[in-house]
Chain A
Amino acid sequence: MADPLHQFVVTKTIPLAIGGVDISFTNASAWMLIVSGAAAVLLWLGLRKPQLVPGRAQSAVEMLYEVVDETIVSSAGPEARKFFPLIFTVFMFILFANVAGLLPYSYTVTSQIVVTFTIAFIAFIGITLVGIANQGFGFLRMFAPPGVPVAMYLILTPIEIVSYFIRPISLSVRLFANMMAGHVLLKVLAGFVVTLGIFGAIPLLVVVGMTALEALVAVLQAYVFTVLVCVYLNDALHAHH
């Protein structure tokens, strides 16, 4: 059976190194460009000639816009709307990367922890800065929620601090593990189709079903990432509890 992890290998398309730093153009960077390009083309097509009664492309763009807008307003409040461009960009990039990964012979950009961690870490640093700018030292109250006995703070504050700093890790590992596990599972099942001969029809049916589930997971994980960024933004914008 072929190695199910082979699909995640990064290969150098154009080897390039400046000052000993490897900045080669790889298959991963190519797919990142394709994914961002596809998202940009969809938005451009939809908004080229905006009409009162939207066409197909414009409806798609409006639906994506409304989903993100509704998520931001419902989980972080209307004043979080000024961060809409950033959150919409993150959502579109992850959504397109996840869905493009389902195409045969494609490369799933979000199955690399370095990609998801970079996005999550930028969001985490940005949200922390927004919280400090918004609440000043009051932002530290987040680590000491009110309404508990004083002795409890000895236990509660370390837990709150750890749970705050674990956020970029859990955010990135969730997306990366979902993408990687799904693709490995599909590969392993596809291997059974060949090795089982005539009985391979059974795993083939399972693969078809799993592909449908993976399509759901791909969209869902992009949405979950967006929702959690909005929830964290809510902590930064509004005083805790």
Chain B
Amino acid sequence: MDAQAAKYIGAGLACAALLGAGIGIGNIFGSYLSAALRNPAAAASQRTNLLLGFALTEATGLFGLLIALLILFG
């Protein structure tokens, strides 16, 4: 196998980080919805935390994408 092919495989494998990010983001919004439906009065106060958690989780997936780009172009 030449180095270029190995690079592409490695970049594809690095995108596996998106698996965790997907589970995490789904978990955050799912938990928020189930909690918000139980207690709708408190839902609005937690929206900042929801978006903060979303942004922090999304970033972990992007770290994987970054590694993929580094492998491809680094």
Residue ranges of A at the interface with B (Cβ–Cβ < 8 Å): 5, 170, 173-174, 177-178, 180-181, 217, 220-221, 223-224, 227
Contact = CB atoms under 8 A, between A and B. Distances in A.
A220 B66 CA distance: 20
B72 to A, nearest CB: 10
Contacts of A174: 55-56, 59, 62
A94 to B, nearest CB: 13
B51 interface: yes
Interface string B33-68: 000000000000000000110111011001101100
A177 B63 contact: yes
A177 B52 contact: no
How many B residues touch the partner, as a band?
A: 10 to 19
A177 B56 contact: no
A160 to B, nearest CB: 19
Contacts of A170: 59
A13 to B, nearest CB: 25
A173 B69 CA distance: 13
B52 A224 contact: yes
A217 B61 CA distance: 14
B65 A224 contact: no
B62 A221 contact: no
Contact of B55 (A173, A180, A217): A217
A220 B55 contact: yes
B65 A181 contact: yes
Pairs A-B, 3 closest by C-beta atoms: A177-B62, A174-B59, A224-B55
A178 B52 contact: no
B63 A178 contact: no
